[in-house]
């Protein structure tokens, strides 16, 4: 118990870093994903460019992307600080997944919704804002939730570029003190984080349950 | 007076509508009947501008109109599957376009909507969502939503296909009742009995066969 109290502060500061990366990625990658998904349903060349982007982001390991941005890009003179490099990698990667989720959502809106809106003479933007986006949001919520949970755990990959997140804090303590306790605590922290998020996501889904 | 002159429409080389002419007087109800595949729905979609005609002209009171021009469309549609917006309540479905497109104040839009709701026997359903309504109620909401935009012409696509005989008779009454309001109505249906119940004129369409 004494030992747990001793290592808790370092674990907590790791949690803070993990949450920072998590929050920034969510806040930036979801809007970016929506924009990319609109581009994916767009015209030829723009569509091709963004399909290529999604292919790269989903087709290579996130770990490679992190290493590429932090250790690779400086070779050609592009240098990002650690934390910024991590956020850029996560946002680019998750936006690609979110884009595919939103694209699926947009495509599952029945054609009659667009035609009704057209016959009521709503503009394209009014149709999107009042009718399509609210419906897409409800459709994609479960999939978004999945990615959100994934992101909490994926954020541990930042240890590879030397960021002191939760996992790294536990790893250091285990190596130093030769005990399993820090790693078990790390697991408990992740479980608490994902449990809280699961609850929050369920609440959000329930809030959108008023129509079917 | 609504006129269609020498309308042609084909899909991928297959002629659907060949040199079609229509004349409908003000307040008149025209039924368009015919078997499946005869091009009834295609005709309706050309008239409503959801499909662009290959050639042909449309006239309202002697003036040529372009149904695909959303900015001043005078044509409303009640779709076969109603096309209600599931994320909006009955009243929101109805007042959305009057507020956004006709720029009515909320009070004015609500007042007009309520009159129509009461008239079409939907009183008390204002705050329900479409999934909470029966087929006949959904259809009446769709009719009210169309009426709230003050169209000169209303088109119905298979209005009885989702209704039992008693409800078919009711919607027939509604259509007949709307004659008094200076509205021209076009009813596409395969239900000959219903066509005879409501129509002043019946136009039969047959599947087009290439000659020779």
Same-domain pairing of B157 and B64: yes
Cβ of B101 and A122 within 8 Å? yes
The answer to whether residues B44 and B106 belong to one domain is no
Q: Any alpha helices (H) in chain B, and if so which ranges?
A: 40-47, 90-100, 106-119, 135-147, 165-178, 192-198
Longest CA–CA span in chain A (Å) reads 71
- What does the pLDDT average to over A25-50? 92
Distance separating alpha carbons of residues B145 and B161, to the nearest angstrom: 19
Let me know how long chain A is: 212
Q: How many CB pairs under 8 A join A and B?
A: 63
Tell me which chain B residue has its CA closest to the CA of residue A138. B87
Average pLDDT over residues A37-63: 92
Say whether both B97 and B135 belong to one domain. Answer: yes
φ/ψ of B23, rounded to 5, equals: -130, 120
Q: B103 and chain A: CB distance < 8 Å anywhere?
A: no
CB spacing of B76 vs A119 below 8 angstroms = yes
Residue B114 shares a structural domain with residue B135: yes
Residue A143: its pLDDT value, please?
94
**Are B70 and B1 found together in one domain?**
yes
Is residue B203 a part of any domain in this protein? yes
Interval A125-136 mean pLDDT: 93
Domain that holds residue B197: 1-74+153-212
What would the mean pLDDT of A87-97 be, rounded to a whole number? 97
Cβ of A116 within 8 Å of Cβ of B83? The answer is: yes
Q: Which CATH superfamily is domain A2-207 in?
A: MetI-like (1.10.3720.10)
pLDDT of residue B212: 43
Residues B44 and B142 in one domain: no
DSSP A67-93: HIIIIIGGGGT----HHHHHHHHHHHH
Which chain B residue's Cα is nearest to A211? B87
Instruction: Please give the mean pLDDT across all residues of chain A.
Output: 93
Determine, for residues B100 and A122 on separate chains, whether the beta-carbon distance falls below 8 Å.
yes
| Rounded CA separation B162/A171 (Å) | 64
Residue B122: name the closest of B79, B169, B170 by CA: B170
**Residue indicated by tokens 């609504």:** B2
Q: Residues A138-158: pLDDT tens digits? A: 999 999 999 999 999 999 999
- pLDDT of B199: 92
Interface test mutation site (partner B, options A108, A110, A116, A124, max chain B beta carbons within 10 A): A116
Distance CA B90, CA B138 (A): 9
Q: Give residue-wise pLDDT tens across range A76-85.
A: 999 999 999 9
Q: Are residues B68 and B165 part of one domain?
A: yes
Contact status of B88 with chain A (Cβ, < 8 Å): yes
Residue of A nearest to B92 (CA): A130
Contacts of B155 (CB under 8 A, 6+ apart): B44, B47, B48, B75, B76, B77, B78, B185, B186, B187, B188
How many domains does the structure of chain B reveal?
Answer: 2
Q: Are residues B3 and B40 in the same domain?
A: yes
| pLDDT score, position B211 | 53
> Are A86 and A70 in contact, with CB atoms under 8 Å apart?
yes
> Is the confidence at residue A68, as pLDDT, over 90?
yes
Low-confidence ranges of chain B (pLDDT < 50): 212
- Residue B128 within any structural domain of the chain: yes
> Chain A within 8 Å of B87 (Cβ-Cβ)?
yes
Shared domain for B159 and B69, answered yes or no, is yes
Long-range contacts of A127-131, Cβ-Cβ distance < 8 Å, separation of 24 or more: A130/B85, A130/B88, A130/B96, A130/B100, A131/B85, A131/B87, A131/B88
Chain B nearest C-alpha distance from A212 (Å): 6
How many CB atoms sit inside 10 A of residue B100's CB? 18
**Residue contact B83–A126, C-beta within 8 A:** no
CA distance B132 to B184: 31
- The confidence score (pLDDT) of residue B210 equals 61
Backbone Cα Rg of chain B = 17
Q: Is B185 domain-assigned?
A: yes
């Amino acid at each position: 118990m004494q030992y747990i109290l001793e290592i808790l502060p370092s674990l907590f500061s790791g949690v803070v870093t993990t949450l920072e990366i998590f929050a920034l990625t969510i806040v930036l990658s979801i809007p970016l994903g929506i924009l990319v998904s609109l581009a994916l349903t767009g015209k030829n060349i723009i569509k091709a460019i963004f399909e290529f982007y999604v292919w790269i982001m989903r087709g290579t390991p996130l770990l490679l992307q992190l290493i590429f941005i932090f250790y690779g890009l400086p070779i050609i003179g592009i240098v990002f600080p650690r934390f910024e490099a991590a956020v850029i990698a996560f946002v680019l990667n998750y936006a690609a997944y979110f884009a595919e989720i939103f694209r699926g959502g947009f495509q599952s809106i029945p054609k009659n919704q667009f035609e009704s809106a057209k016959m009521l003479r709503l503009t394209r933007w009014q149709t999107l804002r009042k009718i399509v986006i609210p419906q897409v949001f409800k459709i994609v919520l479960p999939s978004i939730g999945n990615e959100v949970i994934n992101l909490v755990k994926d954020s541990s990959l930042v240890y590879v570029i030397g960021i002191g997140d939760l996992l790294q804090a536990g790893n250091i303590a285990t190596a130093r003190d030769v005990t399993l306790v820090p790693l078990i605590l790390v697991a408990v922290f992740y479980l608490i984080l994902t449990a809280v998020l699961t609850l929050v996501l369920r609440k959000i889904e329930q809030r959108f349950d008023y129509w079917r | 007076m609504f006129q269609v002159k020498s309308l042609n429409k084909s899909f991928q080389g297959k002629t659907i509508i060949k040199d079609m002419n229509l004349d409908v007087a003000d307040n008149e109800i025209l039924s368009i009947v015919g078997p499946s595949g005869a091009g009834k729905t295609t005709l309706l979609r050309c008239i409503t501008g959801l499909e662009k005609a290959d050639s042909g002209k449309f006239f309202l009171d002697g003036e040529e109109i372009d149904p695909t021009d959303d900015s001043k469309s005078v044509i409303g549609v009640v779709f076969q599957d109603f096309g209600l917006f599931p994320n909006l309540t009955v009243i929101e479905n109805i007042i959305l376009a009057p507020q956004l497109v006709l720029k009515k104040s909320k009070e004015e839009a609500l007042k007009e909507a309520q009159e129509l709701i009461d008239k079409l026997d939907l009183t008390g359903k204002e705050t329900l969502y479409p999934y909470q309504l029966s087929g006949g109620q959904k259809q009446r909401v769709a009719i009210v939503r169309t009426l709230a935009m003050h169209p000169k012409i209303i088109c119905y696509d298979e209005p009885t296909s989702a209704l039992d005989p008693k409800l078919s008779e009711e919607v027939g009454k509604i259509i007949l009742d709307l004659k008094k309001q200076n509205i021209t109505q076009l009813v596409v249906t395969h239900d000959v009995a219903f066509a005879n119940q409501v129509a002043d004129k019946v136009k039969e369409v047959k599947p087009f066969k290439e000659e020779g």
